[in-house]
Amino acid sequence: MSSNSFPYNEQSGGGEATELGQEATSTISPSGAFGLFSSDLKKNEDLKQMLESNKDSAKLDAMKRIVGMIAKGKNASELFPAVVKNVASKNIEIKKLVYVYLVRYAEEQQDLALLSISTFQRALKDPNQLIRASALRVLSSIRVPIIVPIMMLAIKEASADLSPYVRKNAAHAIQKLYSLDPEQKEMLIEVIEKLLKDKSTLVAGSVVMAFEEVCPDRIDLIHKNYRKLCNLLVDVEEWGQVVIIHMLTRYARTQFVSPWKEGDELEDNGKNFYESDDDQKEKTDKKKKPYTMDPDHRLLIRNTKPLLQSRNAAVVMAVAQLYWHISPKSEAGIISKSLVRLLRSNREVQYIVLQNIATMSIQRKGMFEPYLKSFYVRSTDPTMIKTLKLEILTNLANEANISTLLREFQTYVKSQDKQFAAATIQTIGRCATNILEVTDTCLNGLVCLLSNRDVVAESVVVIKKLLQMQPAQHGEIIKHMAKLLDSITVPVARASILWLIGENCERVPKIAPDVLRKMAKSFTSEDDLVKLQILNLGAKLYLTNSKQTKLLTQYILNLGKYDQNYDIRDRTRFIRQLIVPNVKSGALSKYAKKIFLAQKPAPLLESPFKDRDHFQLGTLSHTLNIKATGYLELSNWPEVAPDPSVRNVEVIELAKEWTPAGKAKQENSAKKFYSESEEEEDSSDSSSDSESESGSESGEQGESGEEGDSNEDSSEDSSSEQDSESGRESGLENKRTAKRNSKAKGKSDSEDGEKENEKSKTSDSSNDESSSIEDSSSDSESESEPESESESRRVTKEKEKKTKQDRTPLTKDVSLLDLDDFNPVSTPVALPTPALSPSLMADLEGLHLSTSSSVISVSTPAFVPTKTHVLLHRMSGKGLAAHYFFPRQPCIFGDKMVSIQITLNNTTDRKIENIHIGEKKLPIGMKMHVFNPIDSLEPEGSITVSMGIDFCDSTQTASFQLCTKDDCFNVNIQPPVGELLLPVAMSEKDFKKEQGVLTGMNETSAVIIAAPQNFTPSVIFQKVVNVANVGAVPSGQDNIHRFAAKTVHSGSLMLVTVELKEGSTAQLIINTEKTVIGSVLLRELKPVLSQG
C-alpha cells in the first residue's frame, strides 16, 4: 500500500495504510525519499478535494492524513485554506484534528487564521464547559499577534467562569498570551492575582505555573494564598504539586528566618515591604532570642511530608528539595528513605536522583549513611549510573565504613567496564586523601593493583597524586614503581613514574640515574608525553647529581634536539639554556634548581558535586551545574522575618496563638497603638462591651476574628457571657470558634494592610491583658452548649453564603469543584446530612483531616494496636457477633462525637437480615449517630460500620439495642477514658502556658515507681498512647515527657506530664478543667506506667 510520499511508510510496512490511506490515493507512485515535490502537489490536490467534499468520512480521512504529515514533520501549510473551512465542523473528531492543524500553522498563515477566530469566539459562550475550555485552549494557542486583545478578553472572562476546568484553561492561556506579547504583563498579573484566590484544586497548579512564568518576583501575591496553597497541596494533581512546592520553597526562603543553627549566611535584606526602619532595628535587637519556627513555616513542612509517598518521582524530589532547603536540619533526614526508594526507578530517574544525593551527601553524610549499600554498583548499571554511585560512596566513606567500602571497590576494580574500573581507582585515591587512617592501606592497595595490567596506568596516576601529598615516607613505593617502568607501556603511567622519580630524585639517589640511563636507551621509541618527562628527569638529575648524569643528560638533550616533534625540540632548547651554563645563559640559569625543583602544590582530589548546592536541588541548573535560562535564584534566609501577618487571611487566631513572642505584632502595636481605634481596645478589654459592639458589626466586617467572635457570641447568648470567668483560656475551643467565625468574615480578603495592623494590635492587646475577649467567648461557648452551638453554626453558614456573594458575585452558583472544604478556615463540624454514602464520607473524612490538622491543630493519633472490645458475643447474639473499637479519628458525624467502628460477624449458616440499631437508652445529653441498616449479612460474612457517640465527656455507658430482622439484643458501650480525647499538637511553650493556667483544683498528680528501663522515652510514649489518645509534645528536657489532648465533647485541654525523678520514681501530673476525667485518666495511667 503506498500512498507514500511519506518516506516512513516504506519502513513501517503497510500498517499505517489501513489508517491513512483508505481513500485510494494510491494512484500516485512513490518516487523515492526525496524529490517528492511534484507528487506532493498532486497529492495535496487530492486532499483538498476530500476536504471540500460533503462527506464527513472523506474529510476525516483527509484530516487524518494531514495530521500524519504533521507528525512526520512534513510541510502541509498550503492546505491551510481548505482545512480552516472545517473549523466549524459538527464532527468532533474532524474539529479536533482541525484544531491540531490550526495550532501548528496559524503562525505561518496569520491572515487566513483570522477566519477561524469568530468560531472560537462563539464557542467561548457555549453552555458546555468542555467546548468553552477547548475553544479557549485553541484560541490562545494560535500565535497571531493581531488577536491579542481578543485573547485578553477571553482570558478575563474565562478566569471568572463557573467551571473550574475552564478557569484552569484560562491559567494556561495566561502563559501563552504572555509569550506572545509580554506587553500584556500587567493585565495578566491582575488575572493571576484573581486566579490565585481560586479555591479549586484543579486551578491551583496551573495558576502557580503562570505565576512562575509571568511574575515570579511578585511574591506579595502569594502571601494571602500561602496557607490555602499549603492546605490544598495534597489534593492538587501531581504535576501541579511539583510546581507549587518549588514556588513555596522560594517563598519560604524570603519570608521566614533560618531554622538552621549556624545561620551565618544571612544577608541584609530589603524585603520587608511592610516595616519601617525602626521596626527593623527593634527586631535585630530581639534576634538574640531562641529560634522558634513561624507556624506558617511549620505548616508547609508538615503538609508536604505525605507527598514523600507519592508515586511520582518528580513530586518526591520536589518535597526532598523543600526539606533540604527550608526544614530544620534535624528533620531533613526523612527524605533519604524516599529518595533511596526512587533508585529502583528508571535509568533516567536514577540519574537525576543520584546527582542530587551526591550533592546532599557531601554536606550531610549522616543522611545517607544508613543506606550505604543501596549505592553499591551492579554490573548491569549503565556507566553513568555507576560513576554517580561511586561518587556517593566516596562522599559517604568514613573511618567506620571505609574497610567495607574498600573491599567493595576491589570488586569494581576487576570490572570489565574499563572506564568504571578506572573511576574506581580515582575513587580509592580520593578516599585515601579524605580519610587519613586509610591512606597507607589505600596506597598499598593501589600498589598491589600495579600488577593488574588493566588498571595499572590509572593506579600509577593516582599513586602519583597521593605521593605528591606526602612524599616523605614513600621511598619504597617509588622504588617499586621505578621497577614497573620495565613492564608498563601506557604512556601516561610511564610519564607519571618518571615525573615522580624526578621530583623525588634526592630520595632515591641510586635508582634515579639508572632509570635515566634506561630511558636514554629507549628515548627514540617513547611516546611524546614520555619523552617530555625524560627531558624533565634529565634536567632535574643534572641539577642535583651532575656528576653521575651529566653525560646522560647531554645525550638525551641531543636526541631531543633532533626530534620530529616541535614541542620536544622546544623543550630541549629551553632546558639546555637553563641548566647548561654557558656564556649566553642569562640570569635565569642561576635559578634553574629553584625552577625545576620547586615545591609543587598537591592536586586537590575533590568531588565534582562540591558546591553544587548553590543551585536549588532538583532543578535543571543543578543537574547541568550551569545556570539555566529562567532559573530563579533561591534567596538567602532573611535575617529578620518580614511581617508574618501579611499571610493572615481570615484566621488571625492562628498567628496569634502560635507566634510565640508575637514579634512583629508587638512592634506594630508599639507603633500604632495610640493612633487608632481606642474603642477596639475597649472591646477587647471588657467583654460586656462587646454586646454593643455587635451592633456595628457590618462596619467591622474586616476586623479581627476575636472581635467577630465576641460579636457573634454576644448577640446570640449574651447572658452566658456574663458569668464568664476570666483568666482561663481554652485555646482549642477558641480556635474552633474563630474558624467558624472567620469563615463568615471571609471578606477580609479585601482588607488592606492597615487593617491587618489593627488586627494584630487587637490580638496583641488581648494577649497582654489577660482578660481577653476570646476567653469570654470560649467560655460562653462551652457553657451555652449545645443549643448555641447549632445556632451559631447555622448563622455562620448563612453569613458565609452572604459573604461569598459579596466577594465574588461570579461564583455564586457553587460550581462543581469549588471545594470549600479545602479552605483552611472551614469548620470541621458535622456534616448535616447523614445520608451520605460511606465512600463519600470517607472521602470527606480525609479532607477534613487535612484541614483540621493544620488549623484546629488536632494532630494525627499515634499508631497503636487497635484494642477490640466485645459488643455482642456470638452465643448471646444467636450467631451474630459484634466487636467494636475506637479508630481514634475525629468523628465524621459530629465534632463532639467519638467515632466507633463496629465489626459485625455472621457466625451462623444462614443470612442475617436487616441489622440495625433499635431502641437507645442514653443518659441525658448523650447523643448517638447510628449506622445505616445493613440489609443482609451472608453466612461467614463480616462487615464494618462506623458510628459516632457523643459521650458528653463522661465514661457513662451508652446502652442500645442491636437488632436483626428477628431479634433485639441489648448491648452497651462504655468508653475507656482515654478514648474521649483527641490528640493535640502544641509547642512546649504553649503547653507550659496552658499548664500554668490549669493549676489548683485542675491539677491531679501521683507518684509512680517503676524500674528504670520502663522510663525510656519510647516506653513511656507507647504506654501513654496505648491508654489515651493523646499527642506527644516536643520536650526540651530529657526527663520530662508531655502529652496533650482535648476532650472530644467540650474541647477542654487535657495535659499529661510525666516527670522522671531521682531513682526509679516519676511524677505523673494531669492538668485539665475536666477534673473528673482527669482523675480517672490518672487512675488508669498510674498502674500502666508502674508495671514492668
Partner 1 sequence: MIHSLFLINSSGDIFLEKHWKSVVSRSVCDYFFEAQERATEAENVPPVIPTPHHYLLSVYRHKIFFVAVIQTEVPPLFVIEFLHRVVDTFQDYFGVCSEPVIKDNVVVVYEVLEEMLDNGFPLATESNILKELIKPPTILRTVVNTITGSTNVGDQLPTGQLSVVPWRRTGVKYTNNEAYFDVIEEIDAIIDKSGSTITAEIQGVIDACVKLTGMPDLTLSFMNPRLLDDVSFHPCVRFKRWESERILSFIPPDGNFRLLSYHMLSWDVGKINPQKLPSLKGTMSLQAGASKPDENPTINLQFKIQQLAISGLKVNRLDMYGEKYKPFKGIKYMTKAGKFQVRT
Scanning residues 319 to 348, which ones bind partner 1 (CB under 8 A)? 337-338, 340-341, 344, 346-348
Does residue number 1092 form part of the binding site for partner 1 (CB under 8 A)? no
State which of residues 630, 695, 832, 1087 lies at the interface with partner 1 (CB under 8 A). 630
Q: Cα–Cα distance between 339 and 309 in angstroms, integer?
A: 10
Q: Answer for the pair 616, 231: CB distance below 8 angstroms, yes or no.
A: no
Cell (9 digits) for 879: 450467631
Contact mark string toward partner 1, 631..670, x via CB under 8 A: xx--------------------------------------
Q: Answer for the pair 188, 178: CB distance below 8 angstroms, yes or no.
A: yes
Does residue number 169 form part of the binding site for partner 1 (CB under 8 A)? yes
Q: Shortest Cβ distance from residue 188 to partner 1 (Å)?
A: 14
Does residue number 129 form part of the binding site for partner 1 (CB under 8 A)? yes
Comparing C-alpha atoms, which of 712, 792, 704 is closest to residue 748?
704
Q: Shortest Cβ distance from residue 172 to partner 1 (Å)?
A: 5
Does residue number 130 form part of the binding site for partner 1 (CB under 8 A)? yes
Footprint of partner 1 on 599-618 (CB under 8 A): 618
Question: In sequence order, what E strands does 846-980 have?
Answer: 869-872, 880-885, 898-906, 912-921, 927-929, 934-937, 942-950, 958-963, 968-973
Chain centre to alpha carbon of residue 1013: 38
Does residue number 1069 form part of the binding site for partner 1 (CB under 8 A)? no
Secondary structure in 3-state letters for 247-294: HHHHHHHHHCCCCCCCCCCCECCCCCCCCCHHHHHHHHHHCCCCCCCC
Half-sphere exposure of 117 (CA within 13 A, CB side): 19
Task: Considering only the stretches 265-273, 377-385, 689-697, 743-751, report the one whose residues sit in contact with partner 1 under the rule CB under 8 A.
Answer: 377-385
3-state secondary structure of 378: coil
Does residue number 887 form part of the binding site for partner 1 (CB under 8 A)? yes
Torsion sign over Cα 522, 525, 527, 533: positive
Q: Closest CB to partner 1 among 187 and 340?
A: 340
Q: Closest CB to partner 1 among 9 and 666?
A: 9
State which of residues 416, 564, 599, 833 lies at the interface with partner 1 (CB under 8 A). 416
Comparing C-alpha atoms, which of 704, 741, 700 is closest to residue 826?
741
State which of residues 239, 260, 274, 1021 lies at the interface with partner 1 (CB under 8 A). 239
Does residue number 984 form part of the binding site for partner 1 (CB under 8 A)? no
Half-sphere exposure of 754 (CA within 13 A, CB side): 3
State which of residues 400, 624, 814, 1019 lies at the interface with partner 1 (CB under 8 A). 624
- How many residues belong to the site for partner 1 (CB under 8 A)? 126
Q: Closest CB to partner 1 among 941 and 976?
A: 941
Footprint of partner 1 on 944-983 (CB under 8 A): 944
Does residue number 20 form part of the binding site for partner 1 (CB under 8 A)? yes
Cell (9 digits) for 139: 484560541
Q: Closest CB to partner 1 among 793 and 911?
A: 911
State which of residues 164, 538, 978, 1078 lies at the interface with partner 1 (CB under 8 A). 164
Does residue number 107 form part of the binding site for partner 1 (CB under 8 A)? yes
Q: Shortest Cβ distance from residue 1006 to partner 1 (Å)?
A: 30
Q: Closest CB to partner 1 among 144 and 515?
A: 144
Comparing C-alpha atoms, which of 1032, 296, 1035, 291 is closest to residue 661?
291
Footprint of partner 1 on 806-845 (CB under 8 A): 816-817, 819, 837-839, 842-843, 845
Q: Shortest Cβ distance from residue 917 to partner 1 (Å)?
A: 18
Task: Considering only the stretches 236-244, 278-286, 426-434, 767-775, report the one whose residues sit in contact with partner 1 under the rule CB under 8 A.
Answer: 236-244
Task: Considering only the stretches 232-240, 502-510, 594-602, 759-767, report the one whose residues sit in contact with partner 1 under the rule CB under 8 A.
Answer: 232-240
Q: Closest CB to partner 1 among 381 and 440?
A: 381
Phi, psi of 935, deg, nearest 5: -60, -55
Task: Considering only the stretches 269-277, 910-918, 936-944, 1072-1080, report the one whose residues sit in contact with partner 1 under the rule CB under 8 A.
Answer: 936-944
Footprint of partner 1 on 185-224 (CB under 8 A): 202, 206, 209
Taking CA 988 as the corner, what is the angle to CA 983 and CA 994, rounded to the nearest 5 degrees?
75
Q: Which residues contact 86 (CB under 8 A, 6 or more apart)?
A: 51, 59, 63, 94, 95, 98
Q: Which residues contact 583 (CB under 8 A, 6 or more apart)?
A: none
Footprint of partner 1 on 538-567 (CB under 8 A): none
Does residue number 238 form part of the binding site for partner 1 (CB under 8 A)? yes
State which of residues 224, 888, 929, 1074 lies at the interface with partner 1 (CB under 8 A). 888
Cell (9 digits) for 889: 479519628
How much is the CA Rg of the chain, to the nearest whole Å?
Answer: 39
Does residue number 863 form part of the binding site for partner 1 (CB under 8 A)? yes
State which of residues 43, 167, 176, 665 lies at the interface with partner 1 (CB under 8 A). 176
Phi, psi of 881, deg, nearest 5: -110, 145
Residue with cell 476536504: 51
Q: Cα–Cα distance between 293 and 9 in angstroms, integer?
A: 63
Q: Is 599 left (phi over 0), alpha (psi -120 to 50) or beta?
A: beta
State which of residues 13, 290, 586, 1036 lies at the interface with partner 1 (CB under 8 A). 13
Cβ-in-10-Å burial (0-12, 13-18, 19+) of 265 comes to exposed
State which of residues 16, 157, 689, 1059 lies at the interface with partner 1 (CB under 8 A). 16
Q: Closest CB to partner 1 among 757 and 850?
A: 850
Does residue number 8 form part of the binding site for partner 1 (CB under 8 A)? yes
Footprint of partner 1 on 275-314 (CB under 8 A): 306, 309-314
Cell (9 digits) for 301: 513542612
Does residue number 75 form part of the binding site for partner 1 (CB under 8 A)? no
State which of residues 47, 62, 70, 488 lies at the interface with partner 1 (CB under 8 A). 70
Neighbours of 773 (CB within 10 A): 32
Q: Closest CB to partner 1 among 99 and 523?
A: 99
Task: Considering only the stretches 170-178, 716-724, 740-748, 769-777, report the one whose residues sit in contact with partner 1 under the rule CB under 8 A.
Answer: 170-178
What does the DSSP 8-state code read for residue 50? H
Does residue number 629 form part of the binding site for partner 1 (CB under 8 A)? yes
State which of residues 53, 363, 623, 959 lies at the interface with partner 1 (CB under 8 A). 623
3-state secondary structure of 122: helix
State which of residues 378, 547, 584, 600 lies at the interface with partner 1 (CB under 8 A). 378
Q: Shortest Cβ distance from residue 373 to partner 1 (Å)?
A: 4
Q: Shortest Cβ distance from residue 647 to partner 1 (Å)?
A: 25
Q: Closest CB to partner 1 among 439 and 625?
A: 625
Does residue number 15 form part of the binding site for partner 1 (CB under 8 A)? yes
Q: Cα–Cα distance between 177 and 171 in angstroms, integer?
A: 10
Q: Which residues contact 358 (CB under 8 A, 6 or more apart)?
A: 388, 391, 392, 395, 607, 609, 612
Q: Which residues contact 488 (CB under 8 A, 6 or more apart)?
A: 456, 457, 460, 494, 497
Taking CA 976 as the corner, what is the angle to CA 974 and CA 981, rounded to the nearest 5 degrees?
115
Footprint of partner 1 on 672-731 (CB under 8 A): none
Footprint of partner 1 on 241-280 (CB under 8 A): 242, 246
Taking CA 871 as the corner, what is the angle to CA 868 and CA 872, rounded to the nearest 5 degrees?
125
Q: Shortest Cβ distance from residue 616 to partner 1 (Å)?
A: 9
- Residue 1055's H or E segment, with its range, is strand 1053-1060
Q: Closest CB to partner 1 among 348 and 723?
A: 348
Footprint of partner 1 on 1019-1038 (CB under 8 A): none
Footprint of partner 1 on 79-98 (CB under 8 A): 91-93, 96-97
Phi, psi of 843, deg, nearest 5: -60, -45
